[in-house]
Chain A
Amino acid sequence: DAMVIQNPRYQVTQFGKPVTLSCSQTLNHNVMYWYQQKSSQAPKLLFHYYDKDFNNEADTPDNFQSRRPNTSFCFLDIRSPGLGDAAMYLCATSRDYAGGYTFGSGTRLTVV
């Protein structure tokens, strides 16, 4: 089945140690998104790629970066994780902004 796959499901990282989360999709969607979801809160958009064009949200900290080497893959890099960055990170894809929004199962990040 076509889907959005996030790896790993659970990630534990040390305070200040760079970490990378990955997302891949078989839907051939041209837009890929990264959301941060903290406990009991709604997902919050960090940034997204429309094709190769990167779109950063104004309040996304500089500590968060993203790469999209090709249509299928997108990475979230956290350069120096702090305790406040512990959250579920969700990847999503869509066809343009018109629909077909599909989410992965998320990566639960713990910072120790």
Chain B
Amino acid sequence: GESVGLHLPTLSVQEGDNSIINCAYSNSASDYFIWYKQESGKGPQFIIDIRSNMDKRQGQRVTVLLNKTVKHLSLQIAATQPGDSAVYFCAEIPNQAGTALIFGKGTTLSVSS
């Protein structure tokens, strides 16, 4: 079936660097995307979302970019901090009635001091 996936299972960066986490989705009908952060032993925490009528959205230290042409989603974290170390998931909601949130595979971000 169609699903959301991430390009890299792991990403290691130095504190202060900018991080970019990528996600490719295959369902062209999807119209809502969310990035989640999950720390060990905790539930997913909402970071930022974007709808398909936008190509960029900014939050505090985070930016999500959506390229519908190539069905690609990315999460940019500015000035990455050790507290950003976690697993990051992108998730989508296909534009279908009665469809719930579907997760991609996740990228583990490790930030070293």
The judgment on whether A and B are partners is yes
Known: A99-B49, A101-B34. A45 touches B102 (CB 8 A): yes
Using C-beta atoms within 8 Å of the partner chain, give the interface range for chain B.
20 to 34
Selected interface stretch from A69-77, A79-87, A102-110: A102-110
| Residues on A with beta carbons closer than 8 Å to the beta carbon of B104 | 42
The verdict on A101 contacting B43 (CB below 8 Å), with A42-B89, A42-B106 known, is no
Q: Does A48 contact B (CB under 8 A)?
A: yes
Closest Cβ–Cβ distance, residue B109 to chain A (whole Å): 14
User: When chains A and B are docked, how far (Å) is the Cα of A33 from the Cα of B103?
Assistant: 13
Contact B32 A45 (CB under 8 A): no
Q: Nearest B residue to A98 by beta-carbon distance?
A: B32
Asked if B44 and A45 make an inter-chain contact with CB atoms under 8 angstroms apart, the answer reads: no
Knowing A42-B89, A106-B42, A108-B41 touch, does A101 contact B103 (C-beta < 8 A)? no
A43 and B98 contacting across the interface, CB-CB below 8 Å: no
Q: Indicate if B56 sits at the interface (CB-CB under 8 A).
A: no
Closest to A104 in B: B43
Give the contacts of A54-74 with B (CB-CB under 8 A): 55
Note all chain A residues with C-beta closer than 8 A to B45.
Answer: 103
B residues in contact (CB < 8 Å) with A: 32, 34, 36, 41-46, 49, 89, 91, 93, 97-106
Known pairs A45-B100, A45-B102, A90-B43; list 14 more (Cβ under 8 Å).
A6-B43, A40-B106, A41-B105, A42-B105, A43-B44, A90-B44, A97-B93, A97-B97, A97-B98, A98-B32, A99-B32, A101-B34, A103-B43, A103-B45
Q: Which residues of A contact B (CB under 8 A)?
A: 4, 6, 31, 33, 35, 40-45, 48, 50, 55, 90, 92, 94, 97-99, 101-106, 108
